[in-house]
Amino acid sequence: MNEIAPRPNNLDAFWMPYTANRAYKSTPRLLARAEGMHYYTNDGQEVIDGTAGLWCVNAGHGRREITEAIQKQAAVMDFAPTFQMGHPIAFQAAAKVAEMTPDGLDHVFFTNSGSESADTALKIALAYQRARGEAQRVRLIGRERGYHGVGFGGMSVGGIGPNRKQFGALLPYVDHLPHTHAPEHNAFTRGQPAWGAHLADALDGLVALHGDTIAAVIVEPLAGSTGVLVPPQGYLQRLRELCDKHGILLIFDEVITGFGRIGAPFGAERLGVTPDMITMAKGLTNAAVPMGAVAVHDKIYSAIVDGAPAGIELFHGYTYSGHPLASAAAIASVDLHRAEDLPGRARAMEGYFEDAAHSLKGLPNVIDIRNMGLVAGIELQGRAGKPTDRATRIFHRCFDAGVLIRTTGDIIALSPPLIVEKPHVDRIFGTLADAIRAEAA
């Protein structure tokens, strides 16, 4: 094989995120180049990208339209502040995003990541309740197994134990809805399960407990990081109704489901429920430059902005909110989504992808398969006393055979770029099936 990038001599300095550093550094796998549906390792091995990087390279790797837009903007203006100043491209990027979001969510606050988007949305929710005279609404509701990034807000409303346990008491005034993982009712469902809408009614119970102190509920419309939980039919509709009934804002964290992943520009559209805010990141720039955003309903924007005395209306923002290079990437990425109808491509490929995913049913230790759009979760029975071991070994086998998959616990998550074609789907699931069989014992 051709070595296309040298292996670094020192792997020690980089404290890698969400990584078993010692294990990784003892047998490193280095990705050195990417194009279309593939990565190439530093020694030249081709690896098909079954995960769109980290659920983010939705338009495929190395898209010329995006890289050229970034290069051009870097030459024109590298950086300009957006605090009490502005530059055209940030306004253009916001307008582009607002064209894609559901009607009414017409104002866009830029961040640099999904985590910052979650924390921004929670802060806007608190500011909104205060602005409309409901300052007692200080409580934030998340959901068990939810993932909203790693800031203190997102972590607090998040519901994945290991992400929280090292970090103390987190935010006060937070509570959680029950998760919707119910394989005893829904195992091997294709798309949205029929059982579980009533799980949203737990919000009534939280209101009974906390009264009128709840500001917002935040959920992923389809939970990704916890291992792909597709919302039960009617669940999100019920949550919307209860939020309206109780004066609570509903936030959809669409960091994964945004930008075509489940066959529509946003999950809100596909699932038929419009929240009051949508958080996004990842696919927004096709991950070529870090950027996140929160799309905010007009009623929230006007309550906070129009209702404020003269001066700054929201004391929040990041040095890089609306960064010129990220804005250029976002505009090019949204244009690509439109020109190539990437959400439509995802929808068109969904049936084939679903059949391929469910063809794994019956393989050793496969206890559930869940899917929607171009996302699939394959849940495995873990090895007794060795959680994650089976999935990790399957990951290594797939990688060595040239397929990148993702694992979370003993669940395998697949989310290829939306440009995926049938032979890629065959290759991804064929390789995975071999690896699952090889780890049967």
Q: Which residues bind ligand PLP (CB under 6 A)?
A: 113-115, 118, 147-149, 220, 224-225, 253, 255-256, 281
Instruction: Return the sign of the alpha-carbon dihedral for residues 353, 222, 202, 105.
Output: negative
Closer residue to ligand PLP (CB): 45 or 51: 51
Q: Please state the closest distance from residue 75 (CB atom) to ligand PLP, in A.
A: 27
Give me the least distance between CB of 375 and ligand PLP, in Å please. 11
For residues 217 and 206, the answer to whether their CB atoms sit within 8 Å is no
Shortest distance (Å) from residue 286 CB to ligand PLP? 14
Which CB atom, from 196 or from 224, has the smaller least distance to ligand PLP? Answer: 224
CB of 401 to ligand PLP, least distance (A): 25
- The answer to whether the beta carbons of residues 251 and 299 sit under 8 Å apart is no
CB closer to ligand PLP, 149 vs 265: 149
Task: Report in angstroms how near the CB of residue 100 gets to ligand PLP at its nearest.
Answer: 18
How would you class 319 by CB atoms within 10 Å of its CB: exposed for 0-12, middle for 13-18, buried for 19 or more?
exposed
Dihedral sign of CA atoms 175, 177, 179, 182 in order = positive
If the CB atoms of residues 286 and 365 are measured against ligand PLP, the closer one turns out to be: 286
In Å, how far are 21, 114, 197, 213, 251 from 207, measured between CA atoms? 43, 28, 18, 8, 17
Q: Which is nearer to ligand PLP, 220 or 368 (CB)?
A: 220
> By C-beta, is 37 or 223 nearer to ligand PLP?
223
Nearer to ligand PLP, 271 or 303 (CB): 271
Judge whether 199 and 234 are in contact, CB under 8 Å.
no
In the block, tokens 């063809």 appear at 359
Query: With respect to ligand PLP, which residue has the nearer C-beta, 199 or 281?
Result: 281
Cα–Cα distance list, 296 to 146, 255, 276, 300, 343 (Å): 21, 15, 6, 7, 22
Catalogue the E-assigned strands of 284-402.
292-296, 366-372, 375-380
Q: Which is nearer to ligand PLP, 148 or 358 (CB)?
A: 148
Number of neighbouring beta carbons within 10 Å of residue 280:
28
DSSP result, 5-29: SPPPS--SS---TTS-HHHHHHS--
- The rounded distance, in Å, linking the Cα atoms of 206 and 238 is 15
280 strand-pairing partners: 293
Minimum distance of ligand PLP from residue 221's CB (angstroms): 9
Write down the least CB distance from residue 312 to ligand PLP, Å: 25
Residue nearest to ligand PLP (CB): 114
In the complex, minimum distance from the CB of residue 155 to ligand PLP, in angstroms, rounded to a whole number: 10
Measured distance CA(415)–CA(370) in Å, rounded = 12
Q: Is 322 left (phi over 0), alpha (psi -120 to 50) or beta?
A: left
CB of 223 to ligand PLP, least distance (A): 8
